[in-house]
Amino acid sequence: MSSHSSSLPDAATVLIVEDDPGIRDLSARILRRCGYTVLAAEGGDEARQICERHPGVIHVLLSDVMMPGMNGPMVAKMLRSMRPELKVVFMSGYSSADVARHGVGQDEAPFLQKPFTPERLANTISEVLG
């Protein structure tokens, strides 16, 4: 079921890195319904393996900020060293002020406050893709 219309934003691939399986699965379902190809990882190590193995472009990283082991900014930095074109969206249940203390600034990547609506998630990804 490979599509050659990769120039279309709705054919974009999103990598979700989220340690909460409920949020990870829900986000994946929402984005798949919007027509995105979704890859999902529980944490940084799994995300790195996906980036190493996935043959196509990964357009957007949607990452939780606070995770055990590697936090979102660390995951983003590691994956961008492998795929410099990767766009990043951070999400967190913590406030933007708390998240800023973990090295996430609003200017470097869009920030989704959890809980978010399916529309807000879809719109944020769409905006990041331009």
Domain span at 48: 9-129
What residues does 63 pair with on adjacent strands? Answer: 17, 90
> What is the amino acid identity at position 38?
V
pLDDT band at 9 (very low <50, low <70, confident <90, very high): very low
The pLDDT of residue 33 is above 80: yes
Q: How many domains are contained in the chain?
A: 1
pTM for this predicted structure: 0.88
pLDDT in tens, 67-120: 999 999 999 999 999 999 999 999 999 877 777 776 676 567 888 999 999 999
Q: Is residue 1 part of a domain?
A: no
Q: Is residue 13 part of a domain?
A: yes
Q: Are 58 and 13 in contact (CB under 8 A)?
A: yes
Q: Is residue 4 part of a domain?
A: no
CATH number at residue 100: 3.40.50.2300
The pLDDT of residue 18 is above 90: yes
